[in-house]
Amino acid sequence: MTNFILHNATLHGAPADAVAIANGIITAVGPGVDLLRLATPDTHVIDCAGRVVIPGIVDDHCHLFATAARRRQVDCRPSATPDIPAVIAALRSAATTGDGWLRGYGYDDSPVGLGRHLNRRDLDAASTRRPTRVDHRSGHACVLNSAALAAVGVSRDTADPPGGSIVRDGNGEPTGLLLDMGGWLGERIGEPSDAKNTAYRADLKDLGRQLLSYGITAVTDAGPDNDAQRWQDFTDAVSDCLLPQRVTMMAGVNHLAELQSAGLSYGDSTCDGRLTLGHAKIMLTASSGRLTPNPAELAEIIAAAHAVGYPVAIHAVERDAIVASALALSDHPTPVGHDRIEHCAECPPDVAELVAQSGARAVLNTGFLHYDGERYRRTVPADLLPHLYPAGALAASGVSVELASDAPVVEPNPWAAMAAAITRRTAEGNPLGGAPVPSVAKALRMHTTGNRIAPGCPADLAVVEPNPFTSPPEVLPSVRALTTIVAGRAVYQRDRSRM
Ligand SMILES: [Zn+2]
């Protein structure tokens, strides 16, 4: 029986005006006059009034629990707190209500932000009572106040944990700044990801709805520390429909054995196929000035993940990291699925060529160009600007490119990411240079990974407005879904009375 018919629609990629859905699958695409005959009294019929229907958008790299948690944290981005006294004032005011950990996010040490990193003394001025942690906008650094350092046991005698570093002053005392220690801190503080926590459930549900409002029907959580506990958290969140999307959880590469002991391997799924275990996530950074892990270690990590059946997704932002990823993946082609290089931020043509030769997919965050473009224009060397997140250039070199948000680093708005990919302009409209993705249709294909409007395909669709294909590019970031359908169910309707 046909459960759903969308008619009077402008279908993207299909020369027809109606689509019929049964049991979560698109069963027919054709003229509305024909398809409406399939309707029974129980069929849900939507007149799209000529609006565009697109395949469901995929956000293939984001951090769901961290994005949801932002709803209860102090906004320390330059837009909210332009200088250090403003950061302190915002935290001090938040510290007066409540107990336990106080969290802030988004501070920027660059010249267009605070001009330097925060330190424990800054945060002590906000609160000595509550352990306080403020995350850097990159997600790879954070600052703790003295109460927080004591709570997690960081002192001058604490050694740097593997992969992380405790920044110290001239006397060897921790300044409060910790680099790449998110996982280490998570183990000590506990993340508020318990899907049974009422406040947290509300935040996650709110995020799920926000993503649906963009037309996002599938998301991948790229947490480098995702483990068996996190799989359980996602199972709770997906089975309770807090996240109505299809969810893929990448596996932290250091947790593959633990996941295996829990009976989980790559591609396994639960919750009627709505939660799937994805790629092994590897962190590769050059932020400390040298590659961590080094190329020999990276090769070993990749080979070990492949050996237990996982393709890998390598975090590579800096030029050196992208080069090392591409070379390592060329030497170690995956026996399963496809390997991925995440971010590809600093990627001039010679590096793009190596990525193409590696055969890996590139998952880029062109939304950063939209939201952070003005900062890039002031802080990135002019000859590198055109090669930041070069979706158009990589695709022209033959690389299979996907777009993804990396939220919470920026807003998970896929339309902003697509706009920046096709215009190479900041939200303020200033040019960054570089090869654009040539059309909205091509940008959309990069953000809908494999989803299509065709018989036999999963019924993941969105009715959107205004028409993204005919609107001027500056309007693109404001495109929104009226209806979003996941697996044949209308899980989001913005305004029932209008449909
Ligand atoms: Zn990420």
**Residues around the ion ligand 1 (C-beta < 5 A):** 222, 406
CA 416–ligand 1 middle distance (angstroms): 17
> Do 442 and 473 belong together in one domain?
no
Helix, strand, coil percent values for the chain (each to nearest 5): 35, 25, 40
Q: How many domains does the chain have?
A: 3
In a domain, 188, yes or no: no
> Do 238 and 322 belong together in one domain?
yes
> Do 361 and 409 belong together in one domain?
yes
CA 283–ligand 1 middle distance (angstroms): 9
Instruction: Report pLDDT digits (tens) over 89-141.
Output: 999 999 998 888 999 999 999 888 899 999 999 999 999 999 999 999 888 89
CA 61–ligand 1 middle distance (angstroms): 6
Of 320 and 498, more confident: 320
In a domain, 195, yes or no: no
In a domain, 191, yes or no: no
CA 341–ligand 1 middle distance (angstroms): 11
> Do 30 and 82 belong together in one domain?
no
DSSP H or E run through 6:
strand 4-7
pLDDT of residue 334: 84
CA 55–ligand 1 middle distance (angstroms): 24
Question: To which residue do tokens 């320390």 refer?
Answer: 76
- Identify the CATH number of the domain in which residue 85 sits: 3.10.310.70
CA 486–ligand 1 middle distance (angstroms): 24
pLDDT band at 201 (very low <50, low <70, confident <90, very high): confident
What is the torsion angle, in degrees rounded to the nearest 10, for the CA atoms of residue 372, residue 376, residue 379 and residue 384?
160
> Do 120 and 172 belong together in one domain?
yes
In a domain, 493, yes or no: yes
Residue range 62-86: mean pLDDT, rounded: 92
pLDDT of residue 190: 65
CA 475–ligand 1 middle distance (angstroms): 27
> Do 10 and 116 belong together in one domain?
no
CA 370–ligand 1 middle distance (angstroms): 17
Which one, of 61, 138, 20, 107, lies nearest residue 461 by Cα?
Answer: 20
CA 296–ligand 1 middle distance (angstroms): 23
Instruction: Report pLDDT digits (tens) over 24-56.
Output: 999 999 999 999 999 999 999 999 999 999 999
pLDDT of residue 499: 41
pLDDT of residue 497: 46
> Do 110 and 1 belong together in one domain?
no
> Do 44 and 83 belong together in one domain?
no
* Ranges of H-type helices in 283-382: 295-307, 319-331, 349-358, 367-379
> Do 311 and 347 belong together in one domain?
yes
In a domain, 70, yes or no: no
CA 139–ligand 1 middle distance (angstroms): 8
Instruction: Report pLDDT digits (tens) over 276-312.
Output: 999 999 999 887 778 999 999 999 999 999 999 999 9
In a domain, 69, yes or no: no
Range of the domain at 382: 58-63+200-452
CA 477–ligand 1 middle distance (angstroms): 21
Cα–Cα dist 165/141, whole Å: 9
In a domain, 192, yes or no: no
- Identify the CATH number of the domain in which residue 363 sits: 3.20.20.140
Beta carbons of 301 and 332 less than 8 angstroms apart: no
- Identify the CATH number of the domain in which residue 15 sits: 2.30.40.10
Residue range 63-70: mean pLDDT, rounded: 91
> Do 258 and 383 belong together in one domain?
yes
Q: How crowded is residue 442: how many other Cβ atoms within 10 Å of its Cβ?
A: 17
> Do 355 and 495 belong together in one domain?
no
> Do 317 and 168 belong together in one domain?
no
In a domain, 448, yes or no: yes
